[in-house]
Structure 1
Amino acid sequence: MNPENRSSPAPSATPLAAPAAQAAAAVTHYENFPVASLLCPPRLRPPIRAIYAFARTADDIADEGDAPPAQRLQDLAAFEADLQAVAQGHAPSERWETVFLPLRAMIEQHQLPVNLLADLLSAFAQDVEKTRDAEGYADRAELLDYCRRSANPVGRLLLHLYGVSDAQALQQSDAICTALQLANFWQDLSVDIPRGRHYLPRADCAAYGARQAELLARQTTPQNARLIQDSADWARALMVQGAPLVHRLPGRMGWELRLVVQGGLRILDKVDALQGGSLHTRPRLHAPDWIVMLARAVAM
């Protein structure tokens, strides 16, 4: 689902209420899906924003700027120390107060599973290590394990907020979140490859005869095009597998998820249309795409 959410008591009257009211940082990054939009029930917007700010900040630590890998890993360790501190009701360090003070309030109010938040940090650290070592993923099983920690926790957090916890719903949520993560990988090939990020599994590359040298040079060969097409089909199949979850969530929540699902599918449409060209061109959603997404959401 996407960076995602949970439930509970009335707003706190403690000093944490003020930072929480600041929305735990504005949503300013481009996304393929709505984040705490008007479709989201008002009572859930603060925890969703707090979770998003946590995940977005940690991802930026791992991804943005010119810091060396050792510094990124050190910062992620410090970020996790703050997570564990607020999970125990303690104050975070001053460095990320705007993230952790609202998050602490939401952990207290909604009993957020802290292990899911920690899983995200584990995935971000793995990204840093694999980029440092110029190491990709051997096969789809290894990539799915990464998605289990980098994407699926967001959906499970959302379901927690919505009070949904049965096994089928969790499996469908995982399918949607993994599909969104994969769609983002295939959307971002032109950005990730120059950064040393390699998400196309080596086993898949070998199966299609895609050469690493040509992929790294972002050449649109027939082999690379078929590889990317199959990768997009894999993500689409997972999204379709998880899509029935939209009917489990009532009212605004269900409509929010419908747009999340359709956002992922629309990006995959654009990846398909480029016929391997996402190696050098990053597809994006524009205003007309949101009209298509809304129409498809209504038809779900």
Structure 2
Amino acid sequence: MAVDHYENFPVASLLLPSRLRPAVRDLYAFARGADDIADEGDASAAARLERLEAWRAAVRDLGAGRPAQVSLTDTDRAIFARLGDTLVRHQMPIQPLLDLLSAFIQDLSVTRYADEPALLDYCRRSANPVGRLMLHLFGQTRPVDLAQSDAICTGLQRVNFCQDVSLDQAKGRCYIPLDCLARHGLEPDDMKALCADPPTPPSDAWRAVVREQAGQARRALLTGSPLAWRLPGRAGLELRLVVHGGLRILEKLAAEGNDPWTNRPILGRADAFLLCWRAFCTPCPDAASPNHHDT
């Protein structure tokens, strides 16, 4: 399994309390559905934008305590009917949902990020809302909890960027900041040769770029990781598995020489025991540990 498609939503996980599983499924359906509008199928950019704007209006309607007033497809209306019930039942905020939609809308027109602040702003809206929604469900919304959740979600998003450089390039997108590429004498279009058939092996400069981006992902995961060891019960265990999953993918990436073009790192069945052992039996990972230095 890869860290993508909102897999940091623990959808229907046996680790979730049964009372929360329907809510998580409803929130996941919203996030997955909106992302698919932005990314999947052959609709025009204008049609995608129109549909996402309708979703944004529908979320605002739900936040005002009324059913969606805009025109929606039958599938979309079913998603919003269930979402509305979940928002009321669990007294959920709508801002994380609006943030997600703003990121999906941005994906329609923005394909490059100038620097680290620009990329982090995108992560703030495309990834961090997922963790915030989950914390609201579990009633863990202290500022320190939200800040560490944001770090974990940003870290997972950046793991995904490291995994999917070739997939994103095929969509015309690059989630490596342009100033990072420039420091190594590279441009986004230079990646085309790495994705060609046959591909050109990545240069030392490209490997250094991936190593740098993986290091940023690792630091974010480690910054947020105390939350996973502080949350009680099954919520904490679920989050520890997620954190260790992201760190494990980065380990695999480093072991393959920071070359995700040739060997896209994913988690398989062989990793399951290791992740469970780490989640159950190891202390919170320390950023100063040599096992977590950038490689």
Check conservation: 1:32, 1:264, Cα contact below 8 A. no
* 1:132-151 matched pairs, under 5 angstroms: 135-151=111-127
Name the structure 1 match of 2:291. Answer: none
Check conservation: 2:62, 2:84, Cα contact below 8 A. yes
Deviations 1:89-113 (A, max 9, x none): 4334334123111111100011111
Name the structure 2 match of 1:161. Answer: 137
Name the structure 1 match of 2:174. Answer: 198
Check conservation: 2:6, 2:28, Cα contact below 8 A. no
Q: For residues 244 and 212 of structure 2, what CA distance do their matches in structure 1 show?
A: 19
Structure 2 counterpart of 1:224, from 206, 210, 214: 206
* 1:1-300 matched pairs, under 5 angstroms: 31=7, 34-92=10-68, 93=72, 94-130=74-110, 135-218=111-194, 219=200, 220-298=202-280, 299-300=282-283
SS in 2 for 1:43: coil
Offset at 1:83? 1.8
Q: For residues 248 and 235 of structure 1, what CA distance do their matches in structure 2 show?
A: 21
TM-score of the pair, normalised by structure 2: 0.86
> Which fold has the larger relative contact order, with Cα–Cα distance below 8 Å and residues 6 or more apart in sequence?
1
RMSD: 1.8
Deviations 1:230-249 (A, max 9, x none): 10011001101100001221
Matched positions, count: 269
Greater alpha carbon shift after TM alignment, 116-125 vs 288-297 = 288-297
Q: For residues 51 and 213 of structure 1, what CA distance do their matches in structure 2 show?
A: 36
Check conservation: 2:156, 2:217, Cα contact below 8 A. yes
The runs of 5 or more residues in structure 2 that have no matched partner are 195-199, 284-295
Offset at 1:194? 0.8
Q: For residues 202 and 189 of structure 1, what CA distance do their matches in structure 2 show?
A: 14
- Letter of the aligned partner of 2:142 in structure 1? D
TM-score of the pair, normalised by structure 1: 0.84
SS in 2 for 1:50: helix
Check conservation: 1:210, 1:227, Cα contact below 8 A. no
